Every structure is written in structure tokens, then in C-alpha cells.
Amino acid sequence: MPGKTILFTSGKGGVGKTTSTANIAVALAAQDPNINVCMIDMDIGLRNLDIQLGLENRIVYNLVDVVEGACKTKQALVKDKRLPNLALLPAAQTRDKSAVTPEQMVSLIDELREMFDLILIDSPAGIEQGFHNSVAAADEAIIITTAEMSAVRDADRVIGLLEAYPRKINCWLLINRLRASMVKSNDMMSVDDVMEILGIKLLGVIPEDEKIIVSTNKGEPLSLAVNKTSGAGQAFRNVALRLTGVEVPLMDIFGENQNIFVKQFKKLKSLIKFG
Ligand code: ADP
Ligand code: MG
């Protein structure tokens, strides 16, 4: 069965697209050695998925090289150091953003679908050419937002754009950097508030976690099982489980019973069907 494509996108930049793509990809690959996962860094000019994974020194070719026929797709794929079933197609660092077209992305992803079960696309910020290239072959979209009004507003705009696409793309909500103490003191919007505004199905909530700084510096995503004490790491692993159809309740970020959300997750059938 050809692989599925999941787009990681947001309206606002800096809300955690790259962090989420890296962590969820690692968690999915670690969860099941039979799932072959490929990440595509579409943020042309601003490579950073490679750095989060500690793969920056292994890059020889990139996405633009593949599209222009300067190398074969396989030659450009960088294998993860830890997980043999995880690979990265890196972004070009210097070329201009119009170097790739949506049609080229569709044919590249069609080729990758034969090699991988899952293709995770880290999209650039904004809704320009890079966004349209990222969306071109997506089956599912994960909309990442923080619980700030500006980010939520921009997420809403992106959801509108995705819903207007002729091809059906399912949208899922991932709320990042949630701070329980700020929600309690009414200084941050709650999960409910964000869900009410955006009106799409919730996939997960990732707490604010300062360990992310160290993990990014080391090139070791927090979702690796060694980071047992990281709240964000656990939350990312939970998202990966939900994507494969396991019912995992929301983490207890608030120290309260969050079982109200379990019902919601019950509706979430496996996004990824392996046959
Ligand atoms: P984007 O790809 O959307 O631009 P990034 O993934 O690069 O966003 O994240 C932007 C910044 O936010 C980075 O410095 C990252 O370390 C930080 N960050 C992301 N998620 C979290 C989190 N859950 N807790 C703390 N910091 C985070
Ligand atoms: Mg990014």
C-alpha cells in the first residue's frame, strides 16, 4: 500500500512545526521498526530539521537537487543514526524558494510513497509558495499552534485555506507550549478555548518544556525513550501512538483528571492504515 503524507503546518512561525515533526517522526519510527518513516524539510533556506535530529553533517544532496535531477532521490535521503527505519530529505540552504513547484512535489512524493509508509512534511511559515508546495501531496494536516491569540488566529486562516483545497485534507489540532500555571491564572487560553475557536479535532497537547533547548543543541529529540522525565517527550510519544490508532488520554498537564478528552480521542481512528 502506498505511504501516507502528513503535513505539519501553522499560520504563525516559531510555534513548533519543526520540533513537532522531528519528535513525532522519531517516536513513530521507535514505536514500530516495521513502519518506515521519511521526513521532508520544506523550509528552503532555513534548514533546521537536520539539526534537531543531529544529522547536519551527513547531508550531501537536498530536495532541490532531487527535483532538478542532480541526484537520485535515494542519494539525497539521510538515514537517522539511531533508527534504521527513519530518513530525512533535507532542505536546500541557499536556493530561492521558487526552485520547487507543487507538481514536482507531487511526483517526488509519489516516488517516496513506494519507499515509505509515512511521509512527514515540515512546512515553512506563511502561506506563500513554500506552503502550497508542502500541501500539494498531503493527505492529512497537523495544525500546530500555541495557545496565544495571534497564533490561533493565523492557524484559523490556514485551516480555511486547507478546507478550500479541491482535494480533501483532514485537519488535526496540536497545541504546543501549553503552560498549566498560566492557564490556571487565566493568562493563557485553555485547550477548550483553542478548540472552540478552531473547531477541528484535537490530536494532542504538548506542554512547555525547557529540556527542548538541550535536546535541540544535542540533536536528540525529546521523544527518544531515554528522555523519560520530559513532559513534552511523553506528549509527543502519545501523539505518535494516537496516529497509529492507540487510544491514549491527554497527559495530566494540570494535575487534574483530563478524561473528558478520552471520548474525543475515541473518535480518532488510526490515521495510518498499514496493510
Ligand atoms: P517552527 O518550526 O514552527 O518555526 P520550531 O520548532 O523551530 O518552530 O520552534 C520554535 C522555538 O520554540 C524553538 O526555539 C523551540 O526550541 C521552541 N519550542 C518548541 N516547542 C517547545 C516546547 N514544547 N517547549 C519549549 N520550547 C519549545
Ligand atoms: Mg521550522
The CATH number assigned to the domain holding 72 equals 3.40.50.300
Q: What is the pLDDT of residue 265?
A: 54
Position 178 pLDDT exceeds 90: yes
* Alpha carbons 154 and 10: distance in angstroms, whole number: 7
Q: Rounded to the nearest whole angstrom, what is the distance from the C-alpha of residue 19 to the centroid of ligand 1?
A: 6
Q: Rounded to the nearest whole angstrom, what is the distance from the C-alpha of residue 127 to the centroid of ligand 1?
A: 19
SS3 (DSSP) at 260: helix
* Alpha carbons 71 and 59: distance in angstroms, whole number: 13
Cβ pair 236, 227 in contact under 8 A? no
* Alpha carbons 106 and 134: distance in angstroms, whole number: 9
- What is the number of the ligand 1 atom nearest to the C-alpha of 206? 23
Average pLDDT over residues 40-55: 89
Domain of residue 269, residue span: 4-274
Average pLDDT over residues 200-227: 92
Region of 126 on the Ramachandran plot (φ > 0 left; ψ -120 to 50 alpha; else beta) = left
Phi (first) and psi of residue 50, to 5 degrees: -60, -40
Number of domains in the chain: 1
Q: Is the C-beta atom of 209 inside 6 A of ligand 1?
A: yes
Task: For helices 191-198 and 149-163, give the axis angle rounded to 10 degrees.
Answer: 30
Cβ pair 189, 152 in contact under 8 A? yes
Q: Is the C-beta atom of 43 inside 6 A of ligand 1?
A: no
Q: What is the pLDDT of residue 66?
A: 96
Position 41 pLDDT exceeds 80: yes
Q: What is the pLDDT of residue 23?
A: 98
Rounded to the nearest integer, the mean pLDDT of the chain is 89
Q: What is the pLDDT of residue 142?
A: 97
pLDDT range class, residue 226, cuts 50, 70, 90:
confident
Closest ligand to 214 CA? 1
85-124 pLDDT tens trace: 999 999 988 667 678 999 999 999 999 999 999 999 999 9
